[in-house]
Structure 1
Amino acid sequence: MSDLKERAARMKAALDVALQPVEMTIRDDSKRHAHHAGRNGIEGDETHFTMTIVSERFGGMNRVARHRLVNELLKPEFETGLHALSLKLSAPAEL
C-alpha cells in the first residue's frame, strides 16, 4: 500500500497501531461518489473508503461494536473531511 494518499495513509497507520490487523485493505472510492453530499468537487479528495480488516481485536465483538471501534479510531478523519466508510470487519477465526 505504498501508493496510499495522505488520508488513507493516516488511517492505515492509526488502524495498524490500534488493531494490529493480520489483513487490511483500504480502497479509495471517492471518485465513484463525486455527486454525493460531503464531496467538495475536488478529484481524489479522499472522502469515501471501503476497508476490509481482519484482527484478533474483533474477537468476541458483535458487528456494531466493531464498526463503532473503527469509527472512533478514525474520528479525527471524520472531523476533517472523511464522509463514509464501507467496512468488512472480522476476526481471524471467522475466516
Structure 2
Amino acid sequence: MVKPMSSKGPVQQEMESLLAAAFPDASFTVSNDSAKHHGHVGDDGSGESHFSLSIEWAGFAGMNRVMRQRMVNKALGDLPGQRVHALAIRATAPGE
C-alpha cells in the first residue's frame, strides 16, 4: 500500500508505480526530501532529486540489507543515479 501524499511529482509517481509492480503486496512510503537539499550538490532544480523510501515486503525475509537494496535499485531502473541524485532505502521484512 502506498501512503497518500500531496502534490507528488512525476518522478515520485514513477517510483511508486515501479515499486508496486516489483514488490506485490509490499507496504511502502516514498518521501520527497528534495526541499531539504535545495541548493546542495545534486539539486537539479526539479524538486525531485532526493528521496527516502521505507518498504516492508515479505519477500525480503532471509535477505541481508545489501541484497534488499539491490533489488529495490533494480526495480527502479535508471532512476537512482540518473534522474534521482540520492535515495535512502530502508527495506525490511514483516516483523523486523
TM-score after normalising by structure 1: 0.84
Identify unmatched segments of 5+ residues in structure 1: none
Matched AA of 2:95: A
Equivalent pair of 1:29/1:50 in contact (CA under 8 Å): yes
Equivalent pair of 2:80/2:87 in contact (CA under 8 Å): no
Residues 22, 71 of structure 1: alpha-carbon distance in 2 compared, 3 angstrom cutoff: closer
Matched AA of 1:67: Q
Matched AA of 1:77: L
Runs of 4 or more consecutive aligned structure 1 residues displaced over 4 Å after TM superposition: none
Q: How does 1:6-17 map to 2 (within 5 A)?
A: 6-17=10-21
Q: How does 1:20-59 map to 2 (within 5 A)?
A: 20-40=24-44, 42=45, 44=47, 46-59=48-61
Question: How many corresponding residue pairs?
Answer: 92
Separation in 2, partners of 1:31, 1:43: 10
Separation in 2, partners of 1:69, 1:15: 10
Separation in 2, partners of 1:14, 1:62: 22
Equivalent pair of 2:54/2:90 in contact (CA under 8 Å): yes
Matched AA of 2:85: H
Equivalent pair of 1:31/1:43 in contact (CA under 8 Å): no
Identical positions, percent: 34
